[in-house]
Structure 1
Amino acid sequence: MPLLLAGPAVDDPGPPVVVDRDPAREAAERELSKQIYAEHEPGLARRVWDWLWDRIVGTLESAAFATPGGWLGLLIILALVVALIVALRLRMGALRTAAGPGRGGGALFTDGPRSAAEHRAAAAEHARAARWDQAVQEQLRAIVRSLEERALLQPRPGRTADEAAAEAARPMPALAADLRAAATTFDAVTYGGLHATQADHARLRELDERLQRSKPDLTAPAGTATP
């Protein structure tokens, strides 16, 4: 009868080790708070970027799924929208250039304060160089600044050429039509894309000289517009 040889005794592992929930959680938090884990975590900027990118991609994927043709159809639609926006922007810019920025164009004076004599000198210099657009602009500025220096107009930043002509017509009623024509020429050159001529500048220079010789109507309040 064969004999059964007894092998080495196997150690009994005993009952399983049970750790309570709270100590286990605290141990896990201590382990995860170690520097080795923190070094591999993305920074705040990266996490924000990842979140935004996920939202953008998710939105585009949803749009592509709902668009006929998938991604290709979505790209075509986006290209058409961009082309439409560009066309509208160019069109609105052209309209603003033709009509001027707001009613009656933009501000008459766009640089630092200068005297009427300085504006006249600048107009004469532009005229000698046949730069009639700039000559017309400086001549009208000389006219308005001269009226301000004579206390016939109240200095007011942002005043347009049309506003200046309307206000100057009250103390100078005999030259009201010429003032309005000068303002119209200024706006056409500055905002309407038109070019002045030597005759345009000559008319404004003559108007400037006539205004200097004219006696104002001092019964009208200074700087008020003609009704």
Structure 2
Amino acid sequence: MISDVPVDITREDAREAAVRELATSIYPKESWWDRFLEGVRDWLSDLIDSASGVPGGWFSIILLVLVILGVALPVLSMARRASRARTGGGAGELLGGRARTAAEHRAVAEAHAAAGRWSEAIRERLRAIARTLEDRALLERLPGRTADELAAEAGRMLPGAAAALAEGARLFDDVTYGDLPGTAEGYRRMADLDDLVLQARPALSGAPG
């Protein structure tokens, strides 16, 4: 019976046989991401099981989640800012590339709106607002200023328009970084903000209210 066993198998034949064997369904493939998710699920399951039998355990879990969020959110915010910095001169930059006047930005915004390109129209209208604030000497010319920074700085100078400026910055971020489509209504709100900024009077330093 021993003579029936083949003895002329080469190393290459053995390797190919092993590869075919490992490729069969009894050896399921698992990516590193699957293993990571499984580890997280196991950790959470163990944490919940431990908390269920300990007085105040659920409070510890909530506290731990808050701590994790407190660390993760600033990291995500910094990553977002770094991503913005890498897009210098692109559509997401508030004021970059060739310098345009506020009137030129408005004209470009209106052209985009007429063509139904609402995201581009919204971005150009906020750029018109930024240039207006600079022309009125309410803001200094600062390359790389973000929409959020614009709203915060201008809101201190124009408290009556602060809420609308914050909303305009969120709208700019939504259509630029949030992959949300611009709309005619969004552009109308940005145009209303532009009119408001043109008419708003700055708060005098030291004046009541």
TM class, shorter-length: 0.5 to 0.7
Cα gap change, 1:130 to 1:151, in 2 (>3 Å): same
Are residue 150 (structure 1) and residue 136 (structure 2) matched? yes
Using the size of structure 2 for normalisation, the TM-score is 0.56
Q: Is the 8 A contact 1:108 1:161 kept in 2?
A: yes
Question: Is residue 2:81 matched to residue 1:102?
Answer: yes
* Alignment: residue pair count: 133
Cα 1:159/1:113, change in 2 over 3 Å: same
Contact 1:144 1:164 in 2 (8 A): yes
| 1:6-21 superposed matches below 5 A | none
- Runs of 4+ aligned residues of structure 1 deviating over 4 Å after TM superposition are 103-106
Q: Deviation of residue 155 (structure 1)? A: 0.6
Kept after mapping to 2: 8 A contact 1:105/1:161: no
Instruction: Give me the whole-angstrom Cα distance separating, in 1, the residues matched to 2:83 and 2:134.
Output: 20
Distance 1:175 1:187 in 2: 18
| Corresponding position of 2:205 | 219
The 8 Å contact of residues 96 and 143 in structure 2, kept in 1 or not, is answered as no
What is the percent sequence identity of the aligned residues? 43
Q: Does 1:129 align with 2:115?
A: yes
Q: Which has the higher helix share?
A: 2
2:118 and 2:182 in contact (8 A); partners too: yes
The amino acid that maps onto 1:131 is: R
Structure 1 residue 104, shift from structure 2 partner: 10
Write the letter of the residue equivalent to 1:129: A
Q: CA, structure 1 residues 118+194, in 2 after alignment: closer, same or farther (shift >3 Å)?
A: same
The separation in 2 between residues aligned to 1:103 and 1:136, in whole angstroms, is: 23
Structure number, greater radius of gyration: 1
Report the Cα distance in structure 2 between the residues aligned to 1:185 and 1:103, rounded to whole angstroms: 20
Cα distance, 1:216–1:133 mapped onto 2, change above 3 Å: same
Query: Are residues 84 and 119 of structure 1, via their aligned partners in 2, closer, same or farther at CA, if it must alter by over 3 Å?
Result: farther
The TM-score, its normalising length taken from structure 1, stands at 0.52
TM-superposed deviation, 1:103: 7.7
Q: Is the 8 A contact 2:160 2:200 kept in 1?
A: no
| Counterpart mapping for 1:4-153 below 5 A | 101-102=80-81, 107-153=93-139
